[in-house]
Each structure stands twice: as C-alpha cells, then as structure tokens.
Amino acid sequence: MITDFLPTYYEAMGSNPTYTILRSIVVDGHEVAWMRFEGTVTIEGKDNPYAGNMLRCECDFKKGVGWQLYKGKPYGIGRHEETCLPRQAAMHLRQLELRSEYLRRFKKTTYGDVSFLPQLTDKIVRDLIKKAKAGEFIGEDGNGAEFWGGYFYLQTLAGILDQPMRDIWEEVDKLVTQKKISLEGAVVQKYRKPPAPTWEEWFRIEDDGVIGIASLPTHSKMQQVWKLEIYAPDGTRQQEGTLPLSYSPDFGPDIDDVEEVTQELKKLMSCPNPKESTKE
C-alpha cells in the first residue's frame, strides 16, 4: 500500500511535497489514490507554498518502479502513469460511478438509459465543474486540465456519458455559444470573453525590394489562418490575404504549413497586378 512506501520515499526524495490520501481505490491488490500534495518553492529567497490534488499509485512511491538511486542521488523512473493498468482502471471505475450517480439523480435506472444523459450535458458539465473546484476525483489524473486553466477534459465527459467525442463536441459547442463555458482545445474552462484578435509576424521574405510577411494568430479564439501581407519597395501595402493552417500553431507552425505559406507568398509577390487576395 502507498503508506508502506512513503517513509522510504520521503527519506530518499525529501518531504517537499508531502502527500495525503483523500480517496483510495484498490484494483487487483494495487492501490491507486486521489492525493493531496503540499509543499513550498523558494523564489528570490522567499518560500512560497503550493498545493493541489492528483492521482497517484503505488508505482510512484515504490523504489525500483517509480524512483531509484543512481550514484546516491534519487531519480524518477519512466512513465508508469501511462502503463499502470490499475491506474487506468481506477479512472474508468470513477467515470462509471459518476455515470451511475447522474442516472440516479435524473431518475434513470438502467444502463440503456445512458442515451438520455447527453440531453443533460449542461447540468452535468456544471456539476463536474463544481466537483473539480471542490477538489474531488472525477476520473482523470487531476493536473492536465488545471495546467491549461480549466476544470476537466472533454474526453472525461465522453467517458462519463458513454458518448463518442464527435457528439460531445456538438453538445458542448452549444454551451460555448451560450457563453456558459469556454474551451481551450478540449479543456473546459469558465467563460471568458475572447481577447481582441492580434497577429504576430512569424517570418518575412524579400525579392527585389518587394516584401512578403506571414503572421500567425496570437490566440486560439481567432481564425486559425496565416495572415499574408505584400509590401512594395516604397512601403505601400499592395496585397493582403489569408491562408488556412493545417495544424495548430500552439508551439510554432508545422513545417508543411511553413512550406505552403512560403510558396503562397512568393506567388503573390510575383503577381504583376496585385489585388486583395484570400486563399480558401
């Protein structure tokens, strides 16, 4: 059990942070736990507390599985959070538990009634947000959605409702349109008014004094396209257009998108009679 491994773990890794079990789920004799972690981080000589909840299992704290000593220093091992089957089972079991809770709450009693749940997506999403804010285990590892400033992933909602993602997107898009929630990728967030659209120049090319500039949207709420601008040698903007992005530019544009926009810029720069252009 996890409490059996913690003393040795703390001795090797230190007790910053410390862990407290909030809920234990034992699968085939392997303990998986929803845990509270608390610690401090020193910034500019000042200790700043931090805390949170996340799913851990015996693997994390067991020497030779989750960590090891190398030349007297402790190191973490591998990515057991993705390969530990009891850990995956615990998340699935919690999603089934929540599904049963919602069926009872809405006066449905059989597994066949699960097809009714998508009609209650609004109420279920609001309840899951409430549970996540209260620090409850809702069937995911507990740190991914929070990292992106949200409450939970749509994949978790799909697991609870037993619905394909395409149907989940359709239902949740209605809530976004109604300004009840916001989305960052597949992360459910509280509603935020989208920021004003702005562009960031990514690169430019020049040919005989003519300049072509390709810019990217600065946030995901904008249309995901390149913005293209062509300037004459005297600085006059001759042409402006857009080119759809094939891939998300969150961490920089994909190489195929860069190649495509480069060719499009060159084509626009060579146009003898430039006009406003938008490639769809």
Q: Which of 55, 105, 115, 168 is nearest to 97 (CA)?
A: 105
pLDDT by 10-residue block (mean), the chain, 280 residues: 94 92 95 95 90 92 89 80 88 94 79 73 93 93 80 93 90 90 88 84 91 89 88 89 86 89 91 50
Tell me how far CA of residue 263 lies from CA of 31, 170, 178, 218, in angstroms. Answer: 56, 36, 40, 22
Tell me how far CA of residue 54 lies from CA of 36, 140, 143, 208, 233, in angstroms. Answer: 7, 8, 6, 58, 57
Whole-prediction pTM: 0.69
> So where are the chain's domains?
2-83, 87-190, 199-269
**pLDDT tens sequence across 105-121:** 887 666 566 677 778 88
